Structure formats: structure tokens, C-alpha cells
Structure 1
Amino acid sequence: MTLENRLGITDSAELARAEERISKKRALELFANGSLDSLPAGTLQALVFIHRYLFSDIYSFAGKVRKVNIAKGNFRFAPVIYLQAALEHIEQMPQSSFEEIVEKYVEMNIAHPFREGNGRSTRIWLDLLLKKKLGMVVDWSKVDKEDYLLAMERSPIRDIEIKHVLREALTDRINDRDVYMKGIDHSYFYEGYNIFRTEELAEDVEKE
């Protein structure tokens, strides 16, 4: 099944390519124009803004909390009936330490508020939170895909693994364009999107 989209694409592989190319360009703009730094870190408002910014050219549901239940493999994300309450709870969670921030990130991942694009949006949201509260970001290029996915899979029950994986990759290069661009590439790679390199798309953006 191909998600209904603004591009009128009915082939799933073609949609994946278009989604990667368009949303990665938008992720670059988020960094370049300073929009991220103006957002209130750790809020649903910030995550909604990021999701809408990345995907509004592709999906009509960009930035809108889902109204359908979704699952990945055998794991079911927060049921719609409890989703709003879950999001309100996450909003109120403390975020003053690395441990608290990762716990908040894990809970937001369990909530999975959007139809598509949750992981990519929420990793940007996490970095914004780490940046504003701790003066650090994750260098995602140092986070192995399998280590990350396994740790996230186990995180609803035991979050010590994801805390270790992310802590090992922390950097204070919070405004480094190269760290950000490589991070976007790796974030997309975790989800199976690896056709377009952010650096090449950046050249296209500059030409435009």
C-alpha cells in the first residue's frame, strides 16, 4: 500500500525516492534558516513544526496527530484512544539531564504521533532538546544502525541500552553543518532511505 500523497505517486519505490529527496532538502533548510533554534525544545509544538516542515510538500497529514492506529512488526504504538493523553504526559516529563531527555525521547517514540516520518522527525527533535538543555547533540554517523534499532526496540521495557548507544555518540559540535548533514543521512538510513546524500542535495539547494 502506498500512502496517499500530494505528488500523485502510486508506486511505493518511487514515493520513497521522492520523499527522501524532498524531505532531506527541507531538513537542510531547517538547519540553514535557523528555524530549529526558535522552537521550544521538548514540546509537541516543536515536533509538529519539524514534521510539518519536512513532509508538508508530500503528505496532507504532515504535522497532524494521527487518527489511526499504527504498528511496526509486532509492536503497536500508542492506541489512538490514549494518544492525546500520552502526548500531554510526555509534554510534562522532566528534561534537565541526559537520562531524562532520553526517557522523554523513548516515550515520544512509543507515542509515534504521526502516520509516517516519526523516527526522522523525532531524532531532530531529540537533538534540539539535547542542544538547548545540555549543549550537546548526537553524532548519528557514530551510531550503528543495528545497535540503534535493537536498542530502540527494547527501550519501552529497558532503556539502558539506548542511553548507552546515544551517550557514546554525543558531541559538543552543536552548530556544525557537517555533523548535522551526516546525521540526517544516517537518520534516514535507519529507515531504509539511502539513495540521496545530503551533501549533494545541499549543492542543489545552493544552485536553486
Structure 2
Amino acid sequence: MTLENKLNIVDSVDLARVEEKISKQKAAELFESGMLDKFEVGTFAGLCGIHKFLFEDIYEFAGKVRTVNIAKGGFRFVPLMYLEAALKNIDCMSQNNFDEIVEKYVEMNIAHPFREGNGRSTRIWLDAILKKEIKHVIDWSKVDKGNYLLAMERSPIKDVEIKVLLKEALTDKIYDRDVYMKGIDASYHYEGYNVFKTENLIKK
């Protein structure tokens, strides 16, 4: 099913292609204009600002909390009934060092607060925290996509794998446009979310 969009695209493949193109253009604008530095760092409000900027030309829900429960494969992200509380808890999490920052990133991934575009906006959010707190960012060109997705899938149970993977890719090139843009690669993000009803979650 193709997500409703401002561009009136009805084919999901066409939408994915156009969405990636536009979101990359917006991500570049966010970096080059210096607007990224104006968002709160490490808060859900800051993440909403990033998401809205990236996707406001495509979706009405840009920057807004999802209104449906979503799942990927066998994993169900935080259900709506707990989402607000989860986001408040994430805002309160410490971000003083690398381990704490990645733990916060993992929790935001579990929350998956938006209907679409979580991965791209949250990777920008992650790098903004790393940049502020430890003066490093992730060089995503050094992160194997397959290993990353597997590590993220396992991270709700054990986050050691994703910590090791990302730590090995740290760089002090915090103002490098190419390093920044690699994190916007859509192939890193989850596709094809399943929508399910809360009562189905309760039954299972």
C-alpha cells in the first residue's frame, strides 16, 4: 500500500525513488544552511524539527508522531498507547559519552515515532548528539549496511554489537559534507512497515 503523499504518487516504487531524491536534497540544504545547528540536540523536539524539514514537501505527517502501530518483520515498535511515555523517557536519558548516546539512539529506534523516514532523520539526530558531546560523528561509508541493519534489529535485546560497529566508524570530520550525506542513504533504513491494531498486539 502506497502512503498518502502530497505529490499524489500512487506507485510505491515511484514514491520511494522520489522520496529519497527530495529528502537528500533537503538534507543537504539542512547541512549547508546551518539550520541543523538551530535544532535542540538530543531531544524529541529536535528530531521532529529534522523530520519535518526532510519530509514536509512529501508528507502531511512530517514532524508529527505516528497515529498507527507499526512493525517490521517480527519486531513491533513501541505501540501508540506507550509511545508518548517512551519519548519522554528518551528525552531524559543521559548523553554524556559514546555509550550513553548510542543507548539513546537505540531507544529512539525502538520508539520509531514517525510513520516513515525514521532511519534517516534519526541518524542525523544521532550525529548531531555525537558532534556536540564528543566532537565526533559516524562515517557511514565505513558501516556495512547489512551488519548495521542486523545489529539494529538485535539492539533492543543486546546493544553491544551496534556500539562496536558504530564506534569503529567514528571520525572527527564533523564538518565534512560527504560524511554527513552518507547517513541519508535510504538503503540503511527499514522499508515496508506493517500496520497493526493495538488489540492484535494485546492478543499476542
Indicate whether the TM-score tops 0.5.
Answer: yes
**Alignment correspondent of 1:46:** 46
**Alignment correspondent of 2:129:** 129
**Number of residues of Structure 1 aligned to a counterpart in Structure 2:** 191
**Alignment correspondent of 1:191:** 189
What amino acid is aligned across from residue 8 of structure 2 in structure 1?
G
- Are 1:158 and 2:155 counterparts? no
Where in structure 1 are there 5+ consecutive unaligned residues? 194-208
Quote the Cα distance in structure 2 between the aligned partners of 1:70 and 1:192: 11
Quote the Cα distance in structure 1 between the aligned partners of 2:85 and 2:152: 22
Quote the Cα distance in structure 2 between the aligned partners of 1:69 and 1:123: 22
Q: Deviations over 1:122-151 (max 9, x none)?
A: 000000000001100000000001110111
Q: How many Å apart are 1:178 and its aligned residue?
A: 2.0
Q: How many Å apart are 1:192 and its aligned residue?
A: 7.8
Alignment RMSD, CA only? 1.2
Quote the Cα distance in structure 2 between the aligned partners of 1:45 and 1:60: 17
- Are 1:113 and 2:116 counterparts? no
- Are 1:139 and 2:143 counterparts? no
**Alignment correspondent of 1:69:** 69
- Are 1:28 and 2:28 counterparts? yes
Where in structure 2 are there 5+ consecutive unaligned residues? 192-204
SS at match of 2:183: helix
**Alignment correspondent of 2:7:** 7
**Alignment correspondent of 2:148:** 148
Q: How many Å apart are 1:190 and its aligned residue?
A: 1.6
SS at match of 2:184: helix
Quote the Cα distance in structure 1 between the aligned partners of 2:51 and 2:34: 16
Quote the Cα distance in structure 1 between the aligned partners of 2:111 and 2:9: 28
What amino acid is aligned across from residue 155 of structure 1 in structure 2?
S
Q: How many Å apart are 1:181 and its aligned residue?
A: 2.3
SS at match of 1:51: helix
Could you say if the C-alpha distance between residues 88 and 103 of structure 1 is closer, same or farther in structure 2, counting changes exceeding 3 Å? same
Q: Deviations over 1:11-31 (max 9, x none)?
A: 111111110111110000010
Q: How many Å apart are 1:189 and its aligned residue?
A: 2.0
SS at match of 1:70: strand
Quote the Cα distance in structure 1 between the aligned partners of 2:182 and 2:14: 23
Bigger Cα displacement from structure 2, 37-46 vs 101-110: 37-46
What amino acid is aligned across from residue 191 of structure 1 in structure 2?
H
Q: How many Å apart are 1:179 and its aligned residue?
A: 1.4
SS at match of 1:106: helix
Quote the Cα distance in structure 1 between the aligned partners of 2:152 and 2:47: 19
Q: How many Å apart are 1:184 and its aligned residue?
A: 2.5
Bigger Cα displacement from structure 2, 43-52 vs 32-41: 32-41
Quote the Cα distance in structure 2 between the aligned partners of 1:48 and 1:178: 23
**Alignment correspondent of 1:104:** 104
SS at match of 1:90: helix
Quote the Cα distance in structure 1 between the aligned partners of 2:190 and 2:85: 31
CA contact (8 A) 2:119 2:190 kept: no
Q: Where does structure 1 differ by over 6 angstroms across 4 or more consecutive aligned residues?
A: none
